[in-house]
Amino acid sequence: MTQTLRLKKNADRRLKAGHLWLYSNEVDIEATPLKGLEPGAQVVVEAANGKAMGVAYVNPNSLICARVVSRDPNMRLDRSLLVHRFNQALSLRQRLYAKPFYRLVHGEGDLLPGLVVDRFDDVLVVQLNTLGMERLAEEVVAALDKVVSPRVIVFKNDSSGRRQEQLERQVTLAKGELDGPVLMEENGVRFHAPVLDGQKTGWFYDHRANRAWLNGLVAGKRVLDLFSYIGGWGVQAAAHGAREVLCVDASAQALERVAENAALNGLHEQVAVGEADAFEALSSLKADGEQFDVVILDPPAFIKKRKDIPNGERAYARLNREAMRLLGRDGLLLSASCSMHLAPERLVDVVRGAVRHQDRHGQIVYQGHQAADHPVHPAIPETAYLKALGVRVFRD
């Protein structure tokens, strides 16, 4: 017998509008005490009048106490529903991309809250970010086997979100064997992605379309790629004709991989690396009189929580100001943010302020967001997190 979760009066509005999350303050805890529910269990969600509205899994210890997995109260999230959802997700990606390198499952965007799957051909990297998904680990593997039949499945369960769900962080192999990076391709350029020990799943597919746009504008240019990670932007720029690329990152390990990825594409002569904090690198490059035609800013999220917004916006502002000082008379800035809490118009404000601070002119010539294999759920603004601005910065 499945337990129920009764909502307070009018607390079903967001659910009716299509949202998948329920907060603990929306639950009628007198009718259905949250503390009486087993963390990770599936429940039938009811409106205040007792009408069944769907099925969710719960975590009474989390602010988002329930995540809806189906609008049909008779359904359960099990292997069968996972197979159905994976097939739906796969059919979209196969329409979008000719080669099997993409995000296969994007959490709420694919109606599977708490689950991320990135595909590197026959290697799948899975993140179970919630307790409800963690409990289904075996079913996830079985369903992925049925739909994709990969050679290797990695559980990359080391995200910060797991701490909030009181889950331990670990990286394990759920299927097959793997002892190093995997070969993948994006925008016609090959990379070794460190799926076992790299950031997130080892690669950031979300900027694919933004990189493709920039690739068309770098031929013959001198390019600076800050927060380069393993060279997603910089190596692609070199492959598309950039005369010279400098990749800067604070991680020596990431920069070793930049060099490997440049060599993999026969570009080791065009790509140089520099190990440094981005802000320190900007000031020392300026002090050395260096100039670039294109500067790429793809920093980590400076704003993790709402309370970080003021400090985070100041950090974005400073970063963009300092980067613009390294552009020549007529340069191009690619300014990105993966902070969900930074509104797109605020990034425009950051760029506008930086342009004025340098007493230059700015023209926004490109506004990008996450690639189509990271679908946005129209009822959940949080699923639209990535922003990228292409800005021409010039003097009279």
Residues annotated catalytic, as ranges: 338
Segment (H or E) for 357: helix 344-357
The type of residue at 107 is G
CA torsion 126-110-150-266 (nearest 10°) is -80
Closest CA to 374 of 207, 137, 232: 207
DSSP annotation string for 94-115: HHH-SSSEEEEEEGGGGT-TTE
- Helix, strand, or coil here: 4? strand
372, 106 in Cβ contact below 8 A? Answer: no
C-alpha 90/C-alpha 92 separation (Å) is: 5
Instruction: Tell me the backbone φ, ψ of residue 126, rounded to 5 degrees.
Output: -110, 135
Alpha helices in 50-207 (DSSP H): 79-96, 131-134, 137-147, 161-164
Cβ–Cβ < 8 Å for 28, 119: no
The bridge status of strand 101-106 relative to strand 387-394 is unpaired
**Cβ-based neighbours of 62, under 8 Å, separated by 6 or more:** 24, 130, 131, 164, 165
